[in-house]
Amino acid sequence: MKGVVVLDLSRYFPGPLACTSLRQMGARVIKVEQPGTGDALREWEKEQGSPFFQVLNSGKEGVFLDLATPSGRARLLSLVGSSDILVESYRPEAAAQLGITYSELARVNPRLILCSIVGYPRGADREGAAAHDLNFAAEAGMWVDPGGGATPCPPPTQVVDLTASLLAVIAVMAALNRRQETGVGSWVEVSLQGAASMGMLLAGIAAFADVTLPLTGELPCYRYYRTADDGWIAVAALEQKFWVRFCTALGDEELATRNHLDRGDQELCARVAALVAQRTAFEWRKVFAQVDCCAVVAGSVSAAGAVPLPARTMAGDTLFSPVAGAAPLLPG
């Protein structure tokens, strides 16, 4: 994407991550923020240097523009004139008030691709309603009732935001391909509600067909087992060959003759659990390093060296360089 210029008017997670992905593919990304406040993500763990903001916005150029003023809008339109893509995450009403609509932007640059990341799709009953990742995940059924009156916990990562980010990148790439064919830009929209629905696709198919989704932890070959030191291993040996290798690694090849896809075989699950419980997580990690059987030791992001590769890569980039003539950047 060398030579492609992206204006990032988004905040928080989905838009900034999408724009960082485009930057990693070679695009030049200019982040536009409100003077005085900037992206709200700057306030997350600010005393620690705003690590979330830094990782999700590394390598971008930055400019502060008050889009509620004529001078701010004029400066934005000047940038639009020489840009290829604009990514924004305003609610539709707010975007219209600020003049960030496709009809207005296309008059300045007919080749511009506008990508709007919204909560609910335009035309939906809840269009413009305030909501975040957790709201969309809950609505879509992306949560588990722990039972016993306990409160459900939010997922350990923002699955809906991440999915929306990836969908935004796909939509922008498709729009760029279309522009190459037609010579004109377009407007693409990605909704978090749609992203949540996609995340629950298999569960939705199962519900529609009135069947049971097998990948819920009931299969002996697709579940967690506790280790001797209260760690966990995750097994996903759906294929027979991987199940055989897994049972061999456990030291009981007779188990391989059992139907690993029988969700009702609790005796098989108990036998596997008893074997796994004989070794520590560290010991199983060494075993699985030698056996290709779709089994791993469950880790945590807080564990040493367990920070995901994309975060490590983006965190190593340089955060922001000022756009020519821009106001000074806010401190990180």
Mean of pLDDT values over 251-270: 92
Please give the Cα distance from 288 to 246 (Å, whole number): 9
Q: Quote the pTM value.
A: 0.82
Are both 87 and 44 inside the same structural domain?
yes
Q: How confident is the model at residue 327 (pLDDT cuts 50, 70, 90)?
A: very low
Q: Which of 29-38, 164-173, 179-188, 266-275 has the lowest mean pLDDT?
A: 29-38
CB-CB contact of 227 with 280 (8 Å): yes
Structure tokens at 70: 């004529």
pLDDT in tens, 10-56: 999 999 999 999 999 999 999 999 998 888 888 888 778 788 888 88
Q: Does the pLDDT at position 309 exceed 70?
A: no
Tokens of 239: 């294929």
Task: Indicate the pLDDT class of residue 303, thresholds 50, 70 and 90.
Answer: low
Q: Are residues 317 and 275 both part of a single domain? A: no
Tell me how far apart the alpha carbons of residues 119 and 201 are, in angstroms, rounded to a whole number: 18
Mean per-residue pLDDT, 165-194:
95
Rounded to an integer, what is the distance from CA 331 to the centroid of its chain?
A: 26
CATH of the domain at 243: 3.30.1540.10
- For residues 166 and 230, membership in a common domain is answered with no
Domain count, the chain: 2
Residues 178 and 241 in one domain: no
Please indicate, yes or no, whether residues 60 and 181 belong to a single structural domain of this protein: yes
Domain containing residue 170: 5-200+309-322
How high is the pLDDT of residue 149? 81
| DSSP code, position 58 | B
Which of the residue ranges 123-137, 188-202, 241-255 has the most confident prediction, judged by mean pLDDT? 241-255
Strands (E), the chain: 5-9, 28-33, 61-64, 85-88, 113-118, 186-191, 222-226, 232-236, 295-297, 321-322
User: What digits encode the pLDDT tens for the residues 50-59?
Assistant: 888 888 888 8
Q: Quick one: pLDDT band at residue 320, thresholds 50, 70, 90?
A: very low
Q: What's CA 132's distance to the chain center, in Å?
A: 13
Same structural domain for residues 14 and 107? yes
Nearest to 120 by CA among 103, 135, 105: 135
- Provide the CATH number for the domain around residue 316: 3.40.50.10540
Condensed to tens digits (0 to 9), the pLDDT of residues 58-89 reads 889 999 999 999 999 999 999 999 999 999 99
What's the DSSP call for residue 212? -
Are the beta carbons of 329 and 320 closer than 8 angstroms? yes
My answer on whether 179 and 242 are in the same domain is no
Q: Is residue 207 part of a domain?
A: no
Q: How long is the chain? A: 332
Let me know whether 227 and 149 are in one domain.
no
Share of the chain above pLDDT 70, in %: 90
**Please, which pLDDT band fits residue 221 given cuts at 50, 70 and 90?**
very high
Strand order in the sheet with 295-297: 222-226, 232-236, 295-297
Dist. CA 159–CA 310, nearest whole Å? 15
Distance from chain centroid for Cα 225: 27
**Cα distance between the two ends of the chain:** 28
Q: Residue 134 and residue 257: Cα distance in Å, rounded?
A: 42
pLDDT higher at 309 or 20: 20
Instruction: Calculate the average pLDDT of the chain.
Output: 87
Interior angle at CA 137, CA 192 and CA 233, nearest 5: 125
Judge if 14 and 79 occupy the same domain. yes
Within 210-306, where are the H helices? 240-250, 266-276, 281-288
pLDDT reported for residue 301 = 58
Residues 63 and 43 reside in one and the same domain = yes
Q: Reduced to 3 states, what is the DSSP secondary structure of residue 303?
A: coil
Look up residue 150 and give its amino acid.
Answer: A
Give residue 316's pLDDT band: very low, low, confident or very high (50, 70, 90): very low
In the predicted structure, residue 111 carries a pLDDT above the cut 50? yes
Residue with the two structure tokens 């992001």: 301
- From residue 196, alpha-carbon distances to 92, 135, 167, 172, 201 in Å are 19, 10, 11, 19, 9
Residue 330 belongs to a domain:
no
pLDDT for the residue 50:
82
Contact 71, 329 (CB under 8 A): no
Question: Does the pLDDT value for residue 305 go beyond 80?
Answer: no
